[in-house]
Structure 1
Amino acid sequence: MKLAAALLLIAATGFDIQGCWGAQVDVEKKIQTVLPGQNATFMCRVAVPLQYCRVEIPGLKTLNLNRGISNADVSYYGQGLDAGQCGFVIHRAEDRNNGDVKCTLGIASEAQESVGTMSLIVARSPKAPELDLSQGTDHLVVYKVDDTIQASCIVRDGRPVANISWFLDNEPIDNSELSMPTVIDLAKENLQSKIQNLTRRLRASDNGKYLRCVAYHDGYPGGISETKRQLDIKYGPLPQRQPIEEFGYEIGKVGVINVTVEANPKPQIEWSVDGQKIREGSHDNTGSMEAEVARDLGNGRYLVSLKIARISKLDTDKEYILTAYNDMGSQDYRVKISTNPEPKGITKFFRQHVYGFEFGVASVIGIVVAILFIILVVSIVIFAKVTGRWCFSGGATVIDYTGGDGSQHHHSDGISGDGVDNPHHQVSSEYINGNDLPIKKDEKIDTAV
């Protein structure tokens, strides 16, 4: 009530509220980011004509602008003061122009000036990103599988602050492995630095890949800058499905057994055929088999080959054992070869997905039999429940043949003992004169003469 009375008093005395507080200034583009040398355009407007348009820009003197007044640094922009517009263009923005920009408007009907405030960000290219990695378990920048790596990336002194993304080669790092980025302000020059940390448990597949910190900023050439470090992760030869089965060999022709081994550092290689050891780069005692030198495929992968000069039927019955070892461990790979074409469909599926867990043929058969057995048991249980047989019959029925008058049998539930008849029970006509033995339909009954 007091507020309403005060407003009425002000209205009665003709006091101009707007003249006291100033008109509301409509500002376009309250924040603009430009590169050095680019233009920046601002517009301040009100709904009434202006007496003057005064502009304050960091690094420049205060300017009084209209359609007839401009200079090399700033020029008027808009439809004129009569239209209530105080617009201006900053030509070739410089680093010194970064900061708050003000437009002060004079209106004939107001005692107070109206002020609009904007922000001009003149981009400054940050420094190149810096990447720092924690040491491995041996206090070197060499890691082992399951080591936890700590990495930190910082992009210093940018305006505005740069954005950061992490990659392993070209694959983005999962956000769960990244901390929230921290922004550090340098108030003196309105510069900002960004820092982000990564925590990752290393695996063999990370070996040889580049951990990349990529920064994005309009001030960079092309808008991007990055730093990267290649990961060196040590691990022993990795296991594979057993046995490795190779198909398509031809009797009487040259055959090559190929196995791709993953290990770091490069493993030593040795083949064993019928108890004979064949080292890398050497032949067996007959000269018909050659263990070729392992070929580096990159990123810890090596192609290991055993060349057989002339495939015979006997060769397809042998088991070829490849042993690969380095300082981190060793691994055996058992290989079987066949002249048959590679199987298709379900057989190939079992080889790729079931054998991949190191199951042999006998294990696969066992799995199939177990599945069939489970299906059979489930079917029997369902059948028993539906037909009310066995454990689902509701209990055994006991028949009392010693009833009081002998004219009617008394039925009782053999489980509950509460005298409730079993609804599924029927007295068989095959029981005669209380005899427990059933009488066949075509069997004659001897009677006393």
Structure 2
Amino acid sequence: MKTGLVIIFVFGLMQALWAAQVDVVNKELLVLPGQNATFLCRVGVALQYCRIELPGGRTFNLNKQLPSNSEVSYYGNGLDAGQCGVNIHQVTEKDNGAVKCTLGIPSETAESVGTMSLIVAKAPKQPELDLSRGTDSLRVYKINDVLEASCIVRDGRPVANISWYLDDEPIDNMALRMPTVIDLAKENLQSTVQNFSRVLQPIDNGRFLRCVAFHPAYPGGHSETKRQLDVKFPPLPIEDPIDKFGYQIGKVGLINITIEANPKPRIEWTVGGQLIKEGSTDNTGRIEAEAIRDLERGRYEANLRLAAVTKQDTEVEYILTAYNDQGSQTYRIKISTSPEPEGFKKFFRQKIYGVELGVGAIVGVVVLVLFIILLVSILIFAKMTGRWCFTGGATVIDYTTGENGQPPHSDGVSGDGVDNPHHQVSSEYINGSDLPIKKDEKVDTAV
């Protein structure tokens, strides 16, 4: 009995090995519901029959001579060409899964089988974005808080891809963790989750953290969820002092400063030792501190209006103090009737976290650059002339020769080396003498 089972098993195995190898075109295909899908199995010999099995146990015997039905039709160049294919006219959810082709070859007792995978896309749910708690509040953060964010996209087929953005700026993959894919056995659906972390800075305030999911079944191909970040920080420093140009004597002057802070700061001005609160004027009524204006996303504009600029106004320092519950900052402003040196100032100005280089810093940079250029020029001059630290390395070429083509001795010093490293051959000097030759003097030269 056991021997018979072994024989049957070996015979079946041999049949499987003898079966023709099936070449499958489109081993995996992703389509949307309502689209058509085609699969093709082929071998190198003519076929006796072609049987297609769709998910759910639906089986069809197909060839070119049979008329197509509402669900499927034959696809290929015919059984004589060794091709067994199927065209599914309108794919539905029930077609998702494995499609099997079974080929009957007249010269073989074993059937040849090929398998294909049909993925019917199903849109996942809207992305879900979860943010960690801030230092003091659920949705409010401080600078240097570590933001932990998690985005999950549930129940898609196939799995969705996730991308992260701050406003429209893609987030570097170095800040992201590898996504985790969760398989759901029911309906072959998949969920994906990805985590992200970032140390928050003032520049992040007001920006939108966006989790964007990409999937072929989404309308437009993608869907997103976003959260606006609320990062608290004190007023940021600017240049010190702040230089303002282009004021005209006798005309209205406006001193405006843009402050970055969150929450909205309160301000006060000090002019000539007098304190001017926001929304009030000085004791002369000539200088007005306007109410601070919100420019959105943690940017505010503070304006000080001068009724008519005088010469004295250009000689005093204007002090602006801004403060909120995170801290305070003082800004010192000077105004001038001179035009702003735009090209010079803009070339050297840099802005880092709201801080700009002032005129003093710019002048310092220019002086440093000029000093380096001067130092390099002096070193090059010393090298070429053999002066100072380059004395021992100077090279002197003496074009005068003595008898037998040998150079004469100079200054009573013998030897083949250079007698005087400072000695340079010139039309005005001869034989090492430091006295210039007068025009009426005769000079003995070697014959």
**What is the match of residue 417 of structure 1?**
none
Question: Which secondary structure does the structure 2 equivalent of 1:393 belong to?
Answer: helix
**What is the match of residue 182 of structure 2?**
184
2:342 to 341, 344, 358: 344
Q: 1:134 to 1:311 in 2, by over 3 A?
A: same
**What is the match of residue 41 of structure 2?**
44
1:59 to 52, 56, 60: 56
Separation in 1, partners of 2:364, 2:70: 89
Q: Deviation per CA, 1:94-128, whole angstroms, max 9, x where unpaired?
A: 22221111100111112221111110001111111
Q: 1:286 to 1:143 in 2, by over 3 A?
A: same
Separation in 2, partners of 1:347, 1:138: 41
Q: Which amino acid aligns with 1:30?
A: K
2:89 to 83, 88, 91: 91
The within-5 A match list for 1:261-276 is: 261-276=259-274
The CA deviation at 1:422 is: 6.4
**What is the match of residue 6 of structure 1?**
none
The within-5 A match list for 1:414-433 is: 423-425=418-420
**What is the match of residue 386 of structure 1?**
384
Q: 1:293 to 1:83 in 2, by over 3 A?
A: same
Aligned residues with identical type, % of pairs: 65
**What is the match of residue 445 of structure 2?**
none
Unaligned runs of 5+ in 1: 1-16, 396-408, 413-419, 429-437, 442-449
Q: 1:329 to 1:124 in 2, by over 3 A?
A: same
Q: Is the 8 A contact 1:295 1:303 kept in 2?
A: yes
Separation in 2, partners of 1:63, 1:347: 80
**What is the match of residue 233 of structure 1?**
231
Q: Is the 8 A contact 2:97 2:119 kept in 1?
A: yes
Q: Is the 8 A contact 2:350 2:357 kept in 1?
A: no
**What is the match of residue 12 of structure 1?**
none
Q: Deviation per CA, 1:271-313, whole angstroms, max 9, x where unpaired?
A: 1110111111111111111111111111000111111122222
Q: 1:66 to 1:260 in 2, by over 3 A?
A: same
CA RMSD of aligned residues (A): 3.1
**Greater mean deviation of Cα atoms: 382-391 or 157-166:** 382-391
**Greater mean deviation of Cα atoms: 63-72 or 238-247:** 63-72
Q: Is the 8 A contact 1:243 1:358 kept in 2?
A: no
Q: 1:128 to 1:364 in 2, by over 3 A?
A: closer
Separation in 1, partners of 2:135, 2:330: 27
**Greater mean deviation of Cα atoms: 207-216 or 383-392:** 383-392
Matched, 1:35 2:28: no
Question: Which secondary structure does the structure 1 equivalent of 2:380 belong to?
Answer: helix
Q: Deviation per CA, 1:382-420, whole angstroms, max 9, x where unpaired?
A: 33333333333339xxxxxxxxxxxxx9979xxxxxxx9
Return the TM-score normalized by structure 1.
Answer: 0.80
Separation in 1, partners of 2:270, 2:171: 42
Aligned residues: 396
Separation in 1, partners of 2:350, 2:334: 15
**Greater mean deviation of Cα atoms: 385-394 or 242-251:** 385-394
Q: Which amino acid aligns with 1:387?
A: T
Question: Which secondary structure does the structure 1 equivalent of 2:295 belong to?
Answer: strand
Separation in 1, partners of 2:351, 2:193: 44
Q: Is the 8 A contact 2:267 2:322 kept in 1?
A: yes
Separation in 2, partners of 1:159, 1:352: 49
Matched, 1:78 2:76: yes
Separation in 1, partners of 2:124, 2:183: 13
Separation in 2, partners of 1:122, 1:79: 26
The within-5 A match list for 1:290-329 is: 290-329=288-327
The within-5 A match list for 1:4-403 is: 21-67=18-64, 68-138=66-136, 140-350=138-348, 358=357, 360-361=359-360, 365=363, 367-394=365-392
Question: Which secondary structure does the structure 2 equivalent of 1:394 belong to?
Answer: helix
**What is the match of residue 432 of structure 1?**
none
Q: Which amino acid aligns with 1:298?
A: E
Q: Deviation per CA, 1:256-277, whole angstroms, max 9, x where unpaired?
A: 1111110000000101110111
**Greater mean deviation of Cα atoms: 68-77 or 192-201:** 68-77
Q: 1:314 to 1:188 in 2, by over 3 A?
A: same
Q: 1:74 to 1:26 in 2, by over 3 A?
A: same
**Greater mean deviation of Cα atoms: 366-375 or 84-93:** 366-375
Q: Deviation per CA, 1:48-91, whole angstroms, max 9, x where unpaired?
A: 22111111110242221123154332222233322322121223
Return the TM-score normalized by structure 2.
Answer: 0.80
Q: Which amino acid aligns with 2:227?
A: R
Unaligned runs of 5+ in 2: 1-13, 394-410, 424-432, 437-447
The CA deviation at 1:220 is: 1.7
The CA deviation at 1:364 is: 5.0
Q: Is the 8 A contact 2:242 2:358 kept in 1?
A: no
Separation in 2, partners of 1:56, 1:174: 46
Separation in 1, partners of 2:219, 2:275: 59
The CA deviation at 1:138 is: 2.3
Separation in 1, partners of 2:347, 2:291: 32
**Greater mean deviation of Cα atoms: 233-242 or 371-380:** 371-380
Question: Which secondary structure does the structure 1 equivalent of 2:63 belong to?
Answer: coil
Q: 1:127 to 1:425 in 2, by over 3 A?
A: same
Separation in 2, partners of 1:297, 1:440: 77
Separation in 1, partners of 2:219, 2:292: 43
Q: Is the 8 A contact 2:413 2:419 kept in 1?
A: no
**Greater mean deviation of Cα atoms: 71-80 or 261-270:** 71-80
Q: Which amino acid aligns with 1:222?
A: G
